Amino acid sequence: MVEKINIVVNGATGKMGLQTLVTLGENAELFTVVGANSPSITDQFIEQNNLNQKIVVSKSFSDLLGSTSPDLCIDFSVRESAMESAVLCAQNGVDFITGTSGLNDDDIVALKALSAEQSIGIFIGPNFSLGAIVLQHIASIVGRHFDTADIIEMHHAEKLDAPSGSAIATAKDMIEAKGSAFESNKTEKFNLKGSRGANLSGIGLHSLRLPGLMARQEVVLGGKGEMLNLSHTTLNRESYMPGLLLAIEYISNNKDFTFGLGSILDL
């Protein structure tokens, strides 16, 4: 019999945190949710969300770790909380998966060093949608054959950061695969500042934040007399769960640092 993995969820009151709790509950033969954390969590959280009454809830992540002794933390909080929680997990020998957006390059370097120093598994997932990861992979392949490219990423109005971590990861993969920067658009006059979006090594990055959206990403590549448009649409948060389950399985068997689902998929 496979031993169950004891898990705490950081950022449990957010939409991704709630969906994670539901999915882990649906896979109770593999996982036991022992704790849930959020600064806004209440004593009624378990009852309100029809969760197992044995789950410990806390506004303090440090107290939660001390009272639950988990094997793994799944984090869907905010950047500052994710970084603090990762350090606490490392100090307590707890593996760490985060899908929190807004982590910068220095954060990633710090988490990689933390994983090596404490011999724990740390997994950063800019996107847990399998379709989005496939799009990212395809974009890195076809991007080698085009000199110009833009990425348009669209998310719900509540998303706090821009561009999305997924869009940045896609652009970086395209640049690495190409081995050079893309050609920047030669706009000479801007009637409105920022109208060409952000620029990452020649790739234009454009962010939409609108009610009614969940998530969508388009990679548009231009050549002489032609355009190639690649797109992926996320309809709900359930789409992230198969990828999250793969990350849990991987990190539980590999005590190292891993960035992105693309690192563990056979692409």
Residues serving a catalytic function are: 155, 159
- For the record, the structure tokens of 57 come out as 């809830």
Can you list the alpha helix ranges (DSSP code H) found in the chain?
A: 15-26, 45-48, 61-68, 79-91, 105-118, 130-142, 165-178, 241-253
Q: What sign does the dihedral 169-112-68-253 (CA atoms) show?
A: positive
**250 Rama sector, left if φ>0, alpha if ψ -120 to 50, beta otherwise:** alpha
For residues 89 and 72, what is the distance between their CA atoms, to the nearest angstrom? 8
Closest by CA position to 9, among listed 79, 52, 70, 90:
70
Spatial CB neighbours of 170, under 8 Å, sequence gap ≥ 6: 135, 136, 139, 140, 151, 217, 219
CA 81, 34, 58 angle in degrees (round to 5)?
45
| CA max distance for the chain | 67
State residue 135 phi and psi, 5-degree precision.
-60, -45
Count of C-beta atoms within a 10 Å radius of residue 72: 22
For residues 211 and 216, what is the distance between their CA atoms, to the nearest angstrom? 13
CA 117, 165, 231, 178: dihedral to nearest 10 degrees? -60
For residues 86 and 95, what is the distance between their CA atoms, to the nearest angstrom? 9
